[in-house]
Amino acid sequence: MAKITLSKLRHSYMANPASPDDYALKQIDLDWSDGGAYALLGPSGCGKSTLLNIISGLLMPSEGQVLFDDRDVTAFPPDQRNIAQVFQFPVIYDTMTVFDNLAFPLRNRGVDEARVAERVTEIATMLEVTDMLGTKAAGLSPDNKQKISMGRGLVRDDVNVVMFDEPLTVIDPHLKWKLRSKLKELHQKLRATMIYVTHDQTEALTFADQVVVMQDGEIVQIGTPVELFERPAHTFVGHFIGSPGMNVLAAEMRDGGAFLNGHHIALDGAVTAQEGAPQIGIRPEFVQISDTGLPATVRKVADIGRHSVVEAMVGDTAIKAITEGTAPQQGAAVHLQFQQNQTRLYRDGWLATEGRPT
Amino acid sequence: MTNWSPAGQLSNLPVWRNLRRHRPGPAAGPRSLTLTFQSALMTLKTQNITKVVNGQTHIKPTTLTLETGHFNVLLGQTGSGKTSLIKMMAGLDPIADGQVLMDGQDVTKLSTQKRNISLVHQFFVNYPHMTVYDNIASPLKVAGMAKSEIQGRVEEAADILQLRPMLHRRPHELSGGQQQRTALARAIAKESRAVFLDEPLANLDYKLREELREQLPELFAGRGAVVVYATSEPEEALLLGGYTGLMDDGHVVQFGRTADLYRTPGSLTAAAVFSDPPINKASVTKAGDQITMGDASWTAQGAAQGLSDGDYVVAIRPHHVTPTPSHKHTVPLSGNVLVTELSGSESSAHFRLDVGDWVSLSHGVHPYEVGADHPFYLDPSACFYFAPDGATVAGGPS
Amino acid sequence: MRTQNNKAWFFVLPVLLLVAFNALIPMMTVVNYSVQETFGNNVFFWEGLRWFEELLNSDRFHAALGRQFLFTGLILLIEVPLGIIIALSMPRKGPWVPVCLVLMALPMLIPWNVVGAMWNIFTLPDIGLLGYLMNTTLGIEYDMTQSPFAAWATIITMDVWHWTSLVVLLSYAGLVSIPDAYYQAAKIDGASPFKVFRYIQLPKMKQVLTIAILLRFMDSFNIYTEVFVLTGGGPGNSTTLLSIDLVKIALGQFDLGPAAAMSLIYFAITLLVSWLFYTLMTKDDAK
């Protein structure tokens, strides 16, 4: 296992990139420590797969370096990097048995058969596929095929990093949670450095200790699931994480305070940036419908069973609130209260308040 | 990256604003009138339709009456028969027995082409060699509509779905979301009598899914078409469905107003289909007003008070079992945490009780230690009780 | 099955009629001939299974059948591996793809009798390019009309030249359908190029290769025109394959009865070998 460092990485698919927009990856600097579980999270086209391919060596970056344990591996092909990767669609060797599939990466490296059998049995037990070891891999269901692909990634104990590229795409929705948690469990047992690429927040937050949120070829925030939820560094993170995402409301700054539609809004802490368009960010979970506060009119109520999402209009601004009690009627006049320690100010999209730790 | 806002760069889809602009009404311009059309069809009815493949019954006799004015959702897991049922209604799959009636008229033998329906599939199905414009226009051309009218309708549908800048591109130049919007625009422009949406959002990024899910009901509002929407996600049914049919193993277990089904499931199966994460269940015994489940027990509440003494199955949704006590969540359970999961704003924990494996779902990011015992609290007022075979309701929350 | 679409029969009917006219009716005629003797004028004498018995005990038939199997075996042994090698070395992306495909398809577009005639002229010792080159320039004695070995070498080379493309094109279609992820995974798993071929490319090509081998077997087992135009079955009987022998009996000697019996045995062998091969190749998939 290894520590991974990405230094001043840039990548463009064009021959002669001129403007920053020509870069699929704009500037990536990252340090990942040995044995951690990391996720790269972002919408499609944010550059996360490009970054993954650069780390695995399938793609050569236009600029910058990839270091494994401080050793420059930028120019190394995948097979010399000692890595494992699990792809979006299961890759299995059809003609081999499950056992031979799992043993393949070991046998290719000349590991002796006794050790091969030991490792394969160990991984198969963890993945709960022991009873399939003798069967041909071609006939398996998609989720079992993907389990075998994962197993091939995990079977070597000498890899620097195991990478997962949206591995649950083909898995039936009702089996996803099982594999999600299985992966987490495997990480805790194996303690290998793992990188998980996905556009699905649940997969990323469930799996990773640290999540890297990407947008337009840039890293927007690196943080623990709690940090991403409670203190999004950028309005994009606030919106992308959480269902529904954070309310991002255009505000006005005057007299040293933030105002929304003429009403003063108390923020969680001192404002740290004085420039840039001001926006107030607050998650629907922290907006309460009460008798006092910001006057609003209910535009829509969506009852999703365990709670209701109330969309209320303050002037032209729509604000979403989550309520577990009886939801107000459509068209009703209500008041909204923002929980102060969760009300943040953003300037030009970036977090601009110094919230007290919660 | 500067000045990003949800309604701006990421979404690119503030469709509801457009919708309001284009919604037919006194304030709408003359253009919108092309989209204001008569409600052509009021009902789509299936009468005991069945599907048999190689002697095996895939769809058991199904009678449903689906109406316009709201979404009709078919909710069930993969393989429960949603797609089969849709294909049977659309005339794409043979029906072994029974009838399909559109507005009272028997269309069972009518070919799909003659039924004037639209189908949007889970995978993005567009004509690869045609531009977005031609893709949207294709059913109108087939119907022999005048060129000028086609143009009006295509542009209108493209505006609603924010496809105007892409009209002259081909499908392979579009993102998944744009491709699926093209398929939806084709269904809207066509003004069909029935629109079948078979998990149309399943292959999209979840943020896009969230946005389109909000916009879909407004897209089809006031169109006069019967909308049938298949999904495997209970939350989607709750957000979209005026009416929902719960499907399990080729069978519509229960059909009715979505909110009613959610609050008063008619069987254990119905309750299970309408729960994600899976519903918690266990055998309980009632004696007097006490209900005993393994090591735990509580006082019967609501309709459960009237149950006679005996054995029942209790079912309780994951969000009614919380990691912290409250005035409602009062019955302590001690579970061994097996697995925890975090979605953006909710945490779930799978834990082992003496009566089986359960799930808890709670707001916020909750710290659990996997492998450790953790207290959970059950809300006795939210329990459903079923007869031991799960088939009939014994009592539930009032 | 109320909604069963009966129109389907309407579409199948023309094919059934066509098959009846071009296969069943001629076939029945052959069966009819095979059990009778005729001297023309539509006069027939019943002979039972006599022709079959004679044929199965005839050395001439055994020799022709042996030559036929040798020919088919040799061209399959050459064309299949060669076709796979060419397919593997063709580019899978880029501007050269259509160029390669067209070049590959060219030999297959030439009519069979033209191929025979072309190679006949090509190998003439005095004026043929190849014949002249071998005999005069390189000093290797090469004359198809004299040496059975030269004749065999020529018909085999000709068939390889004419038909390897089919194997190439089918294998190539199998290869391009393999997703990139497989190659990437193999790289990461540390698989050697041979293992990539053995465990990824070959299994993914298996289905198209089955079709290719089947087509090549049937075609080469029934080959007539090219060989007849090129060697006429000679020198001696050295290149008299089953089909050529059949035509000699039927049209040369006008022994319609024995020729019909031979046709039926010929047909049975082709069918049997094809069926055996196909069953063996698809046995795993059925499981």
Say whether the peptide bond before residue B277 is cis (omega within 30 degrees of 0): yes
Check CB contact under 8 Å for A205 and B370: no
Check CB contact under 8 Å for C4 and B96: no
Higher pLDDT, B299 or C46: B299
Check CB contact under 8 Å for B109 and C3: yes
pLDDT tens track for A183-231: 888 888 888 889 999 988 888 988 888 999 999 888 999 998 888 988 9
Query: Which of the listed residues A230, A265, A289 is the one where a domain comes to its end?
Result: A230
Round to whole Å and give the CA distance between A258 and B100: 60
Residues of chain A in Cβ contact (below 8 Å) with chain C: 56, 58, 77-79, 83-85, 87-89, 91, 93-96, 104-105, 108-109, 136, 139, 149, 152
Residue among A88, A215, A239, A319 with most chain B CBs within 10 A, to mutate: A239
Round to whole Å and give the CA distance between A64 and A7: 6
**Tokens encoding A48:** 């996360």
A/B interface, count of CB pairs below 8 Å: 127
Check CB contact under 8 Å for C3 and B95: yes
Q: How confident is the model at residue B397 (pLDDT cuts 50, 70, 90)?
A: low
Check residue C284 and give its pLDDT: 63
- Is residue C223 pLDDT above 70, yes or no? yes
Which chain B residue is nearest to residue A318, measuring alpha carbons? Answer: B7
Rounded to an integer, the average pLDDT of C233-241 is 79
pLDDT tens track for B180-214: 889 888 888 887 888 999 988 887 777 888 888 88
Pick one of 3.90.1150.10, 3.40.50.300, 2.40.50.140, 3.40.50.620 as the CATH number of B277-395: 2.40.50.140
pLDDT tens track for C120-132: 888 887 777 887 7
Domain membership of residue A322 (yes or no) is: yes
Percent over 70 (pLDDT), chain C: 96
Check residue B233 and give its pLDDT: 87
CATH code where residue A259 lies: 2.40.50.140
Query: Which of the listed residues A230, A258, A287 is the one where a domain comes to its end?
Result: A230
What residues 9-38 of chain A have any CB closer than 8 A to a CB of chain B? none
Check residue C40 and give its pLDDT: 67
Residue showing tokens 């044929």: C55
Check CB contact under 8 Å for B109 and C1: no
pLDDT tens track for C253-276: 777 777 888 888 888 888 898 898
Round to whole Å and give the CA distance between A37 and C269: 63
pLDDT tens track for B237-277: 998 878 999 999 888 999 999 988 998 898 999 999 998 88
Check residue B281 and give its pLDDT: 93
Are the C-beta atoms of A229 and A241 separated by less than 8 Å? yes
pLDDT tens track for A250-291: 999 888 788 998 889 998 888 888 888 999 999 999 999 988
C52-286 placed in CATH 2.40.110.10: no
Mean of the per-residue pLDDT values for chain B? Answer: 82
Are residues A263 and A296 both part of a single domain?
yes
Cross-strand partners of C265: none
Are residues A290 and A325 both part of a single domain?
yes
Please indicate if any CB of chain A lies within 8 Å of the CB of B193: no
Work out how many domains chain A is built from and give that number: 2
Nearest to B203 by CA among B177, B171, B182: B177
CA distances to A44, B243, C38, C58, C59 from C54, rounded to whole Å, are 75, 80, 17, 6, 10
Domain membership of residue A49 (yes or no) is: yes
- Is residue B8 pLDDT above 70, yes or no? no
Sign for the CA dihedral angle at A122, A128, A133, A138 comes to: negative
Least confident of A9-13, A121-125, B91-95, C238-242: C238-242
Nearest to A91 by CA among C91, B104, C196, C96: C196
Higher pLDDT, B157 or C42: B157
What residues 199-238 of chain B have any CB closer than 8 A to a CB of chain C? none
Are residues A270 and A220 both part of a single domain?
no
Are residues A107 and A32 both part of a single domain?
yes
Check residue B394 and give its pLDDT: 67
Round to whole Å and give the CA distance between A158 and A156: 6
Indicate the helix (H) or strand (E) that contains B44.
Answer: strand B43-53
Please indicate if any CB of chain B lies within 8 Å of the CB of A306: yes
Rounded to an integer, the average pLDDT of B204-230 is 83
Check CB contact under 8 Å for A245 and B207: yes
- Intrachain domains B18-116+192-271 and B277-395 with the same fold: no
Residues of chain A with C-beta less than 8 angstroms from the C-beta of B365 = 225-226, 229-230
ipTM here:
0.77
Check residue A200 and give its pLDDT: 87
Contacting chains of C (3 CB pairs or more, <8 Å) are A, B
Rounded to an integer, the average pLDDT of A86-96 is 89
Higher pLDDT, B203 or A101: A101
Residues of chain C with C-beta less than 8 angstroms from the C-beta of A102 = none
Are residues A130 and A219 both part of a single domain?
yes
Rounded to an integer, the average pLDDT of C64-86 is 91
- Is residue C48 pLDDT above 50, yes or no? yes
pLDDT tens track for B375-396: 999 999 889 999 888 777 766 6
| The CATH fold of domain B18-116+192-271 | Rossmann fold (3.40.50)
Please indicate if any CB of chain A lies within 8 Å of the CB of B239: yes
- Calculate how close chain C gets to A140, using CA atoms only, in Å: 12
Least confident of B17-31, B100-114, B260-274, B349-363: B17-31
Check residue A117 and give its pLDDT: 92
Q: Where in chain B are the domains?
A: 18-116+192-271, 277-395
Domain that holds residue A308: 244-351
Please indicate if any CB of chain A lies within 8 Å of the CB of B10: yes
User: CB count, 10 Å around CB of B222?
Assistant: 15
Domain membership of residue A239 (yes or no) is: no
Check CB contact under 8 Å for B96 and C1: yes
Nearest to B132 by CA among B176, B81, B183: B183
Are the C-beta atoms of B270 and B261 separated by less than 8 Å? yes
Residues of chain A with C-beta less than 8 angstroms from the C-beta of C284 = 136
Q: How confident is the model at residue C8 (pLDDT cuts 50, 70, 90)?
A: confident
* SS3 at position B132: helix
C-beta contacts of A110-115 below 8 A and 24+ residues apart:
none
Query: Which of the listed residues A203, A230, A257 is the one where a domain comes to its end?
Result: A230
Q: How confident is the model at residue A313 (pLDDT cuts 50, 70, 90)?
A: very high
Check CB contact under 8 Å for A78 and C182: no
Are residues A251 and A223 both part of a single domain?
no
